[in-house]
Amino acid sequence: MKDRADAIAIVHKVLASEDFNRTAQILLVLLNKAQLQHPGKKRCLYLEIDGHRNLKGDFDHDMLELQTKFMGDFLLQFLTRVEMPSGSIQNPNPQNDLIPENLSLIKVDPPSSDGLGESKMTPRF
């Protein structure tokens, strides 16, 4: 974004104790608060993540899903830009100012560890 004078920054640090659902709810509250206090201003989210790494050093399933599917498929529409550990995303469209007040998240069942069962990856949002 070239001119940040008309933008506001939303910053959240995901704590090691926060899971996907908790983080998603926090982000939604922050977006609603930003829209209420600064209606129509461009919103830029700066996301930091503590912990949430597997043995290989990659992000765990929750934070990988948060940074990919949740950001790209849902939350980005309410933002102008997102800066997060996995990279930056610019919203190619005008940001949507009609932010839902809450989310109905469903549990995602990870693939079975025996390799025989199918993964039940149902979107959380």
User: Is 123 or 1 the better-scoring residue by pLDDT?
Assistant: 123
Q: Is residue 14 in some structural domain? A: yes
In angstroms, the CA 71 to CA 97 distance is: 16
Does an H or E element contain 14, and which?
Answer: strand 7-14
Does an H or E element contain 31, and which?
Answer: helix 20-37
Q: What's the rounded mean pLDDT across residues 8-12?
A: 97
Q: Is residue 113 in some structural domain? A: no
Please say if the pLDDT value at position 111 is more than 80.
no
What is the structure's pLDDT at 1? 45
pTM higher than 0.85 for the full model? Answer: no
What is the structure's pLDDT at 103? 76
Q: Is residue 111 in some structural domain? A: no
Confidence of residue 108 (pLDDT cuts 50, 70, 90): low
Q: Is residue 83 in some structural domain? A: yes
Residue range(s) defining the domain that contains residue 51: 7-90
Q: What are phi and psi of 106, to 5 degrees?
A: -115, 155
What is the structure's pLDDT at 102? 80
Contact between residue 54 and residue 64 where contact means Cβ atoms under 8 Å apart: no
Q: Is residue 104 in some structural domain? A: no
Q: Is residue 60 in some structural domain? A: yes
Mean predicted lDDT score pLDDT of the chain: 86
Q: What's the rounded mean pLDDT across residues 89-98?
A: 96
What is the structure's pLDDT at 101? 87
- 39-93 residue pLDDT tens: 989 999 999 999 999 899 899 999 999 999 999 999 999 999 999 999 999 999 9
Q: Is residue 97 in some structural domain? A: no
Task: Find the radius of gyration of the CA atoms of the chain.
Answer: 16
CA dihedral 47, 43, 87, 119 (to 10 degrees): 70
| Structural domain count of the chain | 1
Q: Is residue 114 in some structural domain? A: no
